[in-house]
Every structure is written in C-alpha cells, then in structure tokens.
Chain A
C-alpha cells in the first residue's frame, strides 16, 4: 500500500483525461486482457513503440485528413525519440517540422500533439527516448498552448516531474505562450539545435550601424517589438520608436514587422529564399543571415534629443547617404561636414591631414570630389577643422547631424529607379521616402521635383521588378511606375510610414474625444 506522500509524488499521467477525451479502446481489448494480461501495451496514455493507426483524441476521429496527419506526426515523434527506424535526416529540423507543422495550421491538432508527447513521456523506461521526448515538449510549449480542457493536465503532468531539468522551463514557456499567442511556423533550426545541446538560452548576435555588435537573448516567444525594446534598453536609447530589426539574407535586407515572432519571421524568410534557390544535388543552400538593428522611420528624429541614438545610429546611417551624394547642399556645408567627419574619425589628431586627399571619398560626397583639386579640398577642410577646436567625437557627430537635419531630405531612404509614366520628369530618378512622403529628385541637380505627401497617396503596389504608386483619386489622379528591384523595400517603408501616421492620427482623435 502506498503512503500518502508516495501517492502524491507519483508522476501524473493522462489516464484520467483519456477516459473522457481519448478515443475508446478497440472492442476486442477486454477479451484480450483476459488471455494475455499484457495490459501495459494497451494503455493508450502511455509509451509505445507502435505507430498509432488512429489519433488519440476522440474529437478529431471524424476527420479523415486530420486523423491521418495525427498518425504521421506520431511516426515523426517516434523517429525523433529513436523509437522507430529512420534514415539520417537531411536537416536538424526535418522531423520537428513534420511533428509541428500540422498543429500550427490546424488548431484541432494541437491537443493531439500534446497528448502524443505526454503519452510518450509516460512510463518510458528508455533513457534516450525520454530525453528526446522532453526536448519535444520543450519545443511544443514554445509554439502553442493546449486547449483549456487539456492545459491543467499538461501543467500537472510537468509539475509532478519537477525533478527533470526542463520541467520548470516548460511551465514558464507555457505561461509565455498563453500571453503572447501561438507561433505560425515550426521551430527554427537555432531553437532545435539549442535544446539538443541541452541549453534553453539562445543568444543572437545583433549588428549596429556603427560597426559594433552585441549578443541578446531571444526566446521562442520573443516578438520583434520586445526584441527592439530590450536592445533599446541595453543601448540606453530614450525610445525604440522608429527603430526596427532587419534581417540580411542572401541579397536582401528585410525589416521585421513589430508584431511578428522573431523566429517565425526568420523561419518564413529562410523558407522563402530556399524556395527561390532550390537545393542542388541534395545540397541545402547556405541560409546564413545577419540581424541588424537600425532606425527605419525618421518621423520624430531630432538630433540632440537622444545622444546614444545620435552617435550609434543617426550619424552612421546618415553618413553613407550623404557621401553617395543624395542631398542638395552648398560648398560651405560640404566643407563643414568634411571637417566634422574628419573629427569623428580622428578627433583632435592632426597627423592625418596629409592623407586627406586619399580620404576624400570618406569626407566628401562622391559626385562633388572632382569639383576641386585634392589639395584644395585638403586646405579648405583643414581650415574648417580648426574652427571646431576642442569638439569631442560625439559633439562632431551631433554638429554633423544638425546641418543635415536642415535639409528636406534628412532621414530618407533613397532609391535609384527608372520611371516610365511621366514624360515631365527624367527617366532616371532618385526617389526619397521620408516623413514628408515620397519625393522625386533629379539625379544630377538633386533638386526635389515634387513631393507626394502620404495623405495624397491612395494606392501602391510592388513586384520583383517594379514599384507603383497612385497619387490622388482615380478621376484626377496620377500614377508613377518605377522600374526597380527594391520595390519590396519601398513598399514596406510606405506601408510603415502610412500606418505610423494613421496610428498617430487615431491617437490624437482619441485624446480629443476623451477631453
């Protein structure tokens, strides 16, 4: 007879749950029990090495398709746990994809997957298999939660196995999944690799425009917005507004939508690139990616308001745009800025003065370099440099930003395009997207030909080869078609600026309404 305390620590199983929610045992079971006494194998809620021919849960029995998917997922679970023969898998997440993909698409399968994993963790005396089962439970709790009916049983199951190193983490992940909602894509390679190496903490390198990088912890439940906030906090930024994560993969740099789970987005992106570059001779193409954190929307950026943002982001993001020659500026400004850039690079050290002619492409906008001789540039830049005596690197960065801030093209993303719709404008154009809207700029003179404010843009679309906007209404509107490979970025920026504007407007309206 078991004592009370022993009774209490006896690991909880799905036995009770199974009476109400599992499919009924096959009819012949009772008679067989009499003959074989081999009852352990017939407990539907405990470990088996036999593939199931029907789902565990009664509620999905009626759908042939879902039932089949449940049985396939179970075989993948058996394979993952080493309980079923399988070939060496091609990628780390091949089996986990098979296990979780169905449940992510069809909510009805989520309880089934939880039940299957818990079943395989019940009375499992194969050490290897049990450990792999815990990995699956850990991954599962990071993706979605069971229904209210099953949730309590899952929690009691894990709580009664607190001695297992992953148990506390699984409970915590359940809480986070309850709060943040379900993921859309199966576990990312990084998540599967982490748990297989017995680590529940995942660190991700993030790159910054000032050429530095830092590692940040990312969880299965981390959304882009949370990620941005933890980076902003660590870098001591005053606000994360306008900042975004970007993923650089193959030849694309794509911004991560705030509400997306970080791992979902990366997963989605790599799957998409994989489709565009199918595996050759069974070789999976390299899908390495880098994560960047940058300013994306410059709506409320005012130099001097946030010194860390100025020195890590604003200066280093505006500098290359300036050096490409995207802005219209006076000779006076170019000399000032050249001297300030020198000061940011070398501070008060004058020993690099003789190198200025060689450094011109780092100091002067590329299209203007030929306007003066290298020595004339040097002489003038040195003269301006001496006017800033005593300025620190940060002060020089801020002084640079304050000059650039005066231009209507400050805080823009620039695109070189070919337009074919409007004969009044040159074919080759520079398009700037910033807080003022979409501006068309003459490539040679840098004159702004027209600015279409966001409020006037009624429609936009993009493809792999083009970007298109409609200005005004259908009757009296005009259209602009641009030939470009960067339509996806223009589209995203326009969408983001406009949605930011709409949010701000509705907030204002809300504030007025409450008065």
Chain B
C-alpha cells in the first residue's frame, strides 16, 4: 500500500507522488530498467492525452502519442510524448490492446472520483536529433 502526500501535492510542489513503490504493483522484471512513477492528476476539463501502441502493435506497450496543450495532462506536467502508461487507477495495462487502454483511460476520467492515477514509465531523454530531416 502506498499513501499519497496530498498536502505537498495540493501545494503544487511535486509532479510525482513521492512515496510510490512500483514493486507493490509490478514484478521486478516488469519494471526492470524503467523509471516508474505515479501521477495523481486532478479531473478538470478534459485529460487531452492521446495514446498509441498496445500489446498487438509493434511497440507492444501503451505509449503517450500526444499531450494536447491546455488539457489536464499538460497542466499537470510530468508526462510527455513517448512515456509508457503502465496502469490507470490501479488497472494494469501491460497486456492491454490499444482500444482497451483507451477505454480504461476514458472510464477512469469520466466515472467516479476527483482524481486519476496514472503509473507511467518515463521515457529517457533523447540522445539523438529527433527533429530535423533533409530530403
């Protein structure tokens, strides 16, 4: 079990829930080499987070494909394109197909509670130029 540090969260000092222990949710090989964090996002407006991938896709996992400007995910911060979504509100998405993950995200956002919990594996900083192309 983990306890959220609501006080410091409300003060807006942290993007991640500090005392989250990923080993309570995942086996060691599920998180090997990953930087796993818990995000606790307040439900305000729309989440505006798009995902791609899924267990049947080449990437084999659920990946953030876009964070739209001005949405709740964008305002919260701490999550970017390329991050893996491992769980939403306690439901583990490691074996989820894309539409299952989308449904789980929509349900978590629309049904019950004022917050949504996302467990993400942070995408490491890019060590290559990912912007330019010369044709």
Contact = CB atoms under 8 A, between A and B. Distances in A.
Interface residues of B, number: 25
Interface in A443-478: 443, 461, 463-466, 468
Nearest to B124: A418
A464 B131 CA distance: 12
Interface residues of A, number: 36
Nearest to A326: B134
B135 A295 contact: yes
B81 interface: yes
B22 interface: no
A180 to B, nearest CB: 27
Contact of A484 (B57, B64, B130): B130
Interface string B40-68: 00000000101011000111000111101
B81 A485 contact: yes
Nearest to A295: B135
B133 A464 contact: no
A324 B133 CA distance: 11
A310 interface: no
A166 interface: no
B58 A479 contact: yes
Interface stretch (A188-196, A408-416, A503-511): A408-416
A465 B134 contact: no
Given A277-B68, A463-B52, A417 B81 contact: no
Given A294-B135, A416-B128, A416-B130, A463 B69 contact: no
A255 B82 CA distance: 24
Nearest to A490: B133
A321 interface: yes
B86 to A, nearest CB: 15
A295 B52 CA distance: 31
Contacts of A294: 135
A479 B60 CA distance: 13
Contact of B130 (A443, A463, A485): A485
Nearest to A443: B128
Contact of A486 (B48, B57, B59, B130): B130
Interface string B112-135: 000000000000001111110111
A414 B63 CA distance: 24
B70 interface: yes
Secondary structure at the B interface, as helix, strand, loop or mixed, is loop
Contacts of B57: 461, 463
Interface string A43-67: 0000000000000000000000000
A481 B63 CA distance: 14
B131 A485 contact: yes
Contacts of B126: 418
A465 B65 contact: yes
B59 A317 contact: no
A466 B134 contact: no
Contact of A278 (B64, B65, B69, B81): B69
Given A278-B68, A463-B65, A483-B82, A321 B128 contact: no
Nearest to B127: A428
A239 to B, nearest CB: 17
Contacts of B130: 416, 484-486
Contact of B52 (A251, A317, A465, A485): A465
Contact of B58 (A255, A317, A466): A466
A296 interface: yes
A465 B59 CA distance: 9
A25 to B, nearest CB: 48
A465 B128 contact: no
Interface in A268-299: 276-278, 280, 294-296
A489 interface: yes
A146 B52 CA distance: 41
A479 B126 CA distance: 22
Nearest to A461: B58
A181 interface: no
B69 A277 contact: yes
A463 to B, nearest CB: 4
A63 to B, nearest CB: 31
Interface in A382-423: 413-418
A50 B120 CA distance: 57
23 contacts: A251-B131, A278-B48, A294-B135, A317-B134, A317-B135, A321-B134, A414-B133, A414-B134, A415-B133, A416-B129, A418-B128, A443-B128, A461-B58, A463-B52, A464-B50, A465-B53, A465-B63, A465-B82, A466-B53, A466-B63, A479-B58, A486-B131, A486-B133
Interface of A: 246, 251, 253, 255, 276-278, 280, 294-296, 317, 320-321, 324, 413-418, 428, 443, 461, 463-466, 468, 479, 481, 483-486, 489
Given A277-B68, A277-B69, A280-B70, 18 more contacts: A280-B69, A317-B134, A321-B134, A416-B128, A417-B128, A418-B128, A443-B128, A463-B52, A463-B53, A463-B57, A465-B52, A465-B53, A465-B63, A465-B64, A465-B81, A466-B53, A481-B58, A485-B130
